[in-house]
């Protein structure tokens, strides 16, 4: 019997299939999701259901849909979908939705990202705990939909043309200089969406020459994991950018809601620099507005936001937290160190594709190479995220805190310690995996390396 406490995380469902969860659990979660919507007065009589290219996706999605229909709501099946396309559907149709994906996790994983109508987030404090409890009760009782019970039929829709047109309407790329772009889809959903948005599959061609890498949908990830946050998964993209003399490279994760960028030399451009770049562009449209960044982005991000007349607001890591803070402040944009980018013009939801389009526009509207353009937004030296498996995470964080009594502490999300010389680090437990995550930043490479190695030694000792 499934123990849903093991797979229902802070802001989504994530676990291995079939040992941690299966289609029976998915059906219970579908019924519980619909019950929660009814209990909280969520309008609408249908639920959107979509899945990525993982082999377990269609079966889990159909089981979830059966649970929804058994509770009296219709289902609109979007079939193969990127997560941001589901958010587009939820926003434009005004319906709640469920996206079956495990994002960047290995092939044996699957999960669900759920939202209310208008792509409003569902996390532990906004409905997910209630869904877990209701679904667990259904599983424990053995209750299942009786065989042959009539259900409302599903409607099937393909919203790729409308999704592509919407994004093109937000960032005009028709007048930029010609750019050669290598795109690594990692056998994920970027291979489904990039031809529609940046190519000419459904709309007129843009002044872009796309060099595709691993566009074939394959949830076994035969070339590399669809996790661009790991530098090992960028190697093929970096090589291709240099070999083709491209202007830049883009890498999408499995469900294509995150986008990573490399410059014309094949060097990674940090998500913090992309956050600052997009923030500047959005502030030019909406002067004086609020921009959200999570506490792991570079300290350069709030500095640059203020310099361009914006109001930076820090938030916890994770899409449900960022989206809730954006809605509360009516922020125009939000960025995370993990390359999630959120837009008020996209129902406060995250879309890697729109961030990619802003990057292409910023590069194509002037003559500098991306390395020089990005350098304007890179002020400090960062370690990137470093993971360590630790048996007792809370005890280890407390031990590290005690080792630095001189540092200013913040516990908004994990432990952030800041030092008088401008260096800082954050140590926090993963919301989806049994790991401690470390991020370090300092004014110089020497200081960053020294602090990184010192903290890692304490964490792994």
Mark which of 252, 269, 286 sits at the end of a domain. Answer: 269
| Alpha carbon 287 to chain centroid, angstroms | 26
First to last CA, the chain: 37
Tens digit of pLDDT at every position of the chain (461 positions): 579 999 998 889 999 999 999 999 999 999 999 999 999 998 779 999 999 999 999 999 999 999 999 999 999 999 999 999 999 999 999 999 999 999 999 999 999 999 999 999 898 889 999 999 999 999 999 866 544 454 566 799 999 999 999 999 999 999 999 999 999 999 999 999 999 999 999 999 999 999 999 999 999 999 999 999 899 999 999 999 999 999 999 999 999 999 999 999 999 999 999 999 999 999 999 999 999 999 999 999 999 999 999 999 999 888 778 988 999 999 999 999 899 999 999 999 999 999 999 999 999 999 999 999 999 999 999 998 899 999 889 999 999 999 999 999 999 999 999 999 999 999 999 865 779 999 999 999 999 999 999 999 999 98
SS3 of 31, please? helix
Contact 233, 251 (CB under 8 A): yes
What is the set of active-site residues? 103
At 148 the pLDDT is: 46
At 432 the pLDDT is: 59
Q: Are residues 113 and 57 in the same domain?
A: yes
Contact 326, 291 (CB under 8 A): no
In this structure, what CATH number is given to the domain that contains residue 176? 3.40.120.10
Mark which of 233, 252, 269 sits at the end of a domain. Answer: 269
Report how many domains make up the chain. 3
> Strands, E, within 60-219: which ranges?
74-80, 97-100, 109-116, 120-121, 154-156, 179-184, 208-213
At 358 the pLDDT is: 98
Mark which of 157, 182, 211 sits at the end of a domain. Answer: 157
SS3 of 460, please? helix
Residue 293 lies in a domain: no
Residue 390 lies in a domain: yes
Around Cβ 372, how many Cβ atoms within 10 Å? 12
In this structure, what CATH number is given to the domain that contains residue 454? 3.30.310.50
Instruction: Tell me which residue range forms the domain holding 189.
Output: 161-269
User: Between β-strands 341-343 and 333-335, what pairing exists: parallel, antiparallel or unpaired?
Assistant: antiparallel
d(CA 151, CA 163): 29
Quickly list DSSP for 210-263.
EEEES-S--TT-SSS-S-TTSGGGGHHHHHHHHHHT-SEEEEE-TTS--EEEE-
Show the tokens assigned to 281. Answer: 């562009």
Q: Are residues 180 and 138 in the same domain?
A: no
């Amino acid at each position: 019997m499934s123990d849903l406490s093991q797979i229902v995380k802070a802001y989504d469902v994530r676990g291995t299939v079939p040992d941690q969860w299966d289609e029976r659990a998915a059906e219970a979660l579908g019924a519980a999701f619909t019950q929660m919507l009814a209990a909280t007065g969520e309008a609408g009589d249908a639920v959107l259901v979509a899945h990525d290219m993982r082999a377990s996706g269609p079966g889990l999605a159909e089981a979830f849909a059966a649970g929804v229909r058994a509770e009296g709501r219709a289902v609109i099946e979007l079939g193969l979908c990127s997560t941001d396309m589901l958010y587009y559907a939820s926003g434009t149709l005004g319906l709640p939705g469920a996206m079956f994906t495990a994002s960047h996790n290995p092939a044996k994983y699957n999960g669900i990202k759920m939202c209310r109508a208008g792509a409003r987030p569902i996390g532990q404090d906004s409905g997910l705990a209630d869904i877990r409890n209701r679904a667990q009760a259904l599983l424990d009782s053995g209750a299942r939909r009786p065989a042959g019970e009539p259900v409302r039929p599903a409607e099937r829709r393909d919203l790729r043309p409308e999704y592509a047109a919407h994004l093109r309407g937000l960032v005009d790329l028709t007048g930029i200089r010609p750019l050669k772009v290598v795109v690594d889809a990692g056998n994920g959903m970027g291979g489904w969406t990039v031809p529609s948005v940046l190519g000419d599959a459904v709309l007129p061609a843009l002044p872009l020459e796309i060099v595709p890498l691993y566009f074939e949908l394959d949830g076994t990830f035969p070339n590399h994991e669809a996790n661009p946050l790991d530098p090992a998964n960028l190697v093929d993209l970096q090589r291709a950018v240099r070999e083709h003399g491209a202007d830049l490279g883009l890498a999408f994760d499995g469900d294509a809601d995150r986008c990573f960028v490399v410059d014309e030399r094949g060097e990674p451009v940090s998500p913090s620099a992309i956050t600052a770049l997009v923030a500047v562009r959005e502030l030019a449209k909406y002067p004086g507005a609020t921009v959200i960044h999570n506490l792991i982005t570079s300290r350069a991000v709030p500095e640059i936001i203020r310099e361009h007349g914006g109001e930076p607001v820090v938030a916890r890591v994770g899409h449900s937290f960022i989206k809730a803070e954006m809605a509360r402040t009516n922020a125009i944009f939000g960025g995370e160190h993990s390359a999630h980018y959120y837009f008020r013009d996209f129902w406060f939801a995250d879309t890697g594709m729109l961030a990619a389009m802003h990057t292409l526009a910023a590069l194509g509207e002037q003559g500098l190479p991306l390395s020089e353009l990005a350098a304007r937004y890179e002020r400090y030296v960062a370690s990137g995220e470093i993971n360590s498996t630790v048996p007792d995470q809370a005890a280890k964080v407390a031990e590290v805190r005690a080792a630095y009594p001189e540092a200013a502490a913040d516990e908004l999300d994990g432990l952030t310690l800041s030092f008088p010389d401008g260096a800082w680090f954050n140590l926090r437990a993963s919301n989806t995996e049994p790991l401690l995550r470390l991020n370090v930043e300092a004014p110089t490479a020497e200081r960053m390396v020294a602090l990184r190695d010192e903290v890692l030694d304490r964490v792994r000792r």
